[in-house]
Amino acid sequence: MALLILFGFIAGAATAVSPCILPVLPVALAAGSTGGKRRPAGIVAGLVASFTFATVALVYAIDALGLPDELLRNLAIFVLLFFGISLLVPALSSRIEAAVSRFSGRFQTEGSGDGFWSGTLVGVSLGFVYAPCAGPILAGVITVSASQPFTAGRLAVALAYAVGSALVLYLLMLGGRKLTVPLSRRIPQLQAGMGAVMVVFALVMLGDYDLRFQNTIADDLPAFIVNPTKDLESTAAAREALADVRQADVTEQGTRIAEGAAAQEEEPPTKSDLPKFGSAPDFVGNQQWFNTPGNQPLSLDQLEGRVVLVDFWTYSCINCIRTQPYLKAWDKRYRSDGLTIVGVHTPEFPFERSADNVEDAVRRAGIEYPVAQDNDFATWDAYANQYWPAEYFIDGEGQVRYAHFGEGEYEEKEKVIRELLAEAGRDPGEGGSGASGTKASHGITTPESYLGSARADRFVNGTIVDGVHDFGELETPSEDQLSFGGRWRISPDYAVADGGELEIEFGAERVFLVLGSPDRPRTVKVLLDGRPIPPAMAGGDVKNGSVTVDEEQLYSLVDLPGAERHQLTLVPEKGIEAYAFTFG
């Protein structure tokens, strides 16, 4: 953790001199060059506090209260506009400074005033504007924050990032004040000029021109200037430190199981007797159970003597969906012989945390075996799991004997089930389950592609950051690339259409996209190579060239005879939420 905090500090300092900060810099210099001598310190204090809150605690607040993502950006615009106007009107500025001083006087020490508290308010607004500049180190911590318990470690990384950035900005503000010393005789004019800068920037933000500027320079400047911290944040040491944060709640049992599973992958067992990885952790920290008597929790103690298959899944994952026919067939064939399958639903996206959504998904899939809702990743971490889907096979004595990650190896898995049943003194009988299902096609070249800023990659638009963007005319992407066109509202986990288009150049047989439509059904037009997709090539959810999105789930868009390369263009109705492409 100490190493990650250090990297966060260095990355924050480097980010403060990257193009992302350029729209914020004039306001910081303008605010820091006017008012009392302690105003720059106040701006830094406010920026550190609001940036840290916006990048960590805000994840929980938005998730709990259902707040719109652009709320704090709009608040920042209002604060900057308010203070800009106050500098343009000296009488108003004096009244504000006096009011702030009276309010803060009861807890400030001698000499701590002189513009400190008014600077803090400006810094608070800048922190909310500056938050989207956070790089991969901070994004790696933030993306798991809403689904895992708040920890001091995550707060420390965000705070280190903010302090690193604020320190550089503070030095820049001090330099700006020195440059304005010769203008000290023209203080009224200087304040008016700085106020005008703040007002102009607030109006620029109101029209999203700051975001357009960031995208433009990201396309035109060298990568090492656009993202000066990339090499640092992609080091093995940084990745290992992030893994430690994400797996902070892993149990010793889980570590042993993970080590055993890794060894098994390197050298699969050839003997009939399977190795023992260690005692299986119980189901912990679950919010809801489905398909159990009275929806009551299960425990491994209750299942003693039975063979247990624990399947980690999430309902919008195409790889998980393709394993379900096999799981259902095994449940039907071997339940009466002593097999219990438990699906542990651990969400990837925020909407998968809803118990109603999970219950609907279980019903739609025809799943009859027990399912536990694992929103806090508690059972996931107990097994030190890292994959969707992942399956752990537990013998009648509670020992993990086999594990498999991802799709495939279905015949081997059924052999393991039969062997563990026989070992437990239960007769699996003659004949297998006859399980079959759709498998991933050969020739897939395009990797899973996320549309939210936290994991967006391979976009021709350059770096994808939070906020409302007008990306302009849709640019044709190259092989395996994506392109936003028109207006979109970007969040860490998804992108919301606001009159824009989306295009991807893919190599696969089937294309799926996780979509949502709050409040009411909406449609997405589907074009293949610039034309309405033919029925023979359309996915199962496409009717007459369009998809009707009414629930947050995975939608099938393209179904070709084999893996081929094509351009897929989507024209979504305003309000459609798009999360991630997967391929099969």
* Percent of the chain whose predicted confidence (pLDDT) is above 90: 40
Q: Which residue has the higher pLDDT, 223 or 82?
A: 82
Instruction: Return the ∠ at Cα 523 (arms to 522 and 524), rounded to 5°.
Output: 135
Residue 114 has pLDDT above 60, yes or no: no
Q: Residue 433 has what pLDDT?
A: 87
Q: Give CATH for domain 449-583.
A: 2.60.120.260
Phi, psi of 565 (to 5 degrees): -100, 130
- pTM, to two decimals: 0.59
Number of alpha carbons in the 13 Å side-chain half-sphere of residue 348: 23
Number of alpha carbons in the 13 Å side-chain half-sphere of residue 524: 32
- 183-217 pLDDT, tens per residue? 445 556 655 666 676 677 678 767 766 555 555 54
- Across the range 349-370, mean pLDDT stands at 92
- Across the range 521-550, mean pLDDT stands at 96
Given 2.40.110.10, 3.30.465.10, 3.40.30.10, 3.40.50.720, which CATH number is that of 249-423?
A: 3.40.30.10
For residues 283 and 409, is the Cβ–Cβ distance under 8 A?
Answer: no
Residue 140 has pLDDT above 50, yes or no: no
**Nearest-10 crossing angle of helices 116-130, 90-104:** 100
Which tokens sit at 339?
Answer: 């097999």
For residues 285 and 373, is the Cβ–Cβ distance under 8 A?
Answer: no
Give the start-to-end residue ranges of the domains of the chain.
2-244, 249-423, 449-583
Q: Per DSSP, which regions of 303-420 are E strands?
A: 307-313, 339-345, 371-373, 390-394, 399-405
Q: Which residue has the higher pLDDT, 465 or 494?
A: 494
Coil, strand or helix: which one is 292? coil
Tokens 């607040």, residue located: 61
- Nearest alpha carbon to residue 311 among 321, 302, 303: 321
Number of alpha carbons in the 13 Å side-chain half-sphere of residue 48: 22
Buried b (16+ CB within 10 A) or exposed e, 25-40: bbbbbbbbbbbbebbb
For residues 300 and 284, is the Cβ–Cβ distance under 8 A?
Answer: no
- Across the range 484-505, mean pLDDT stands at 94
* Percent of the chain whose predicted confidence (pLDDT) is above 70: 64
CA distance 401 to 404: 11
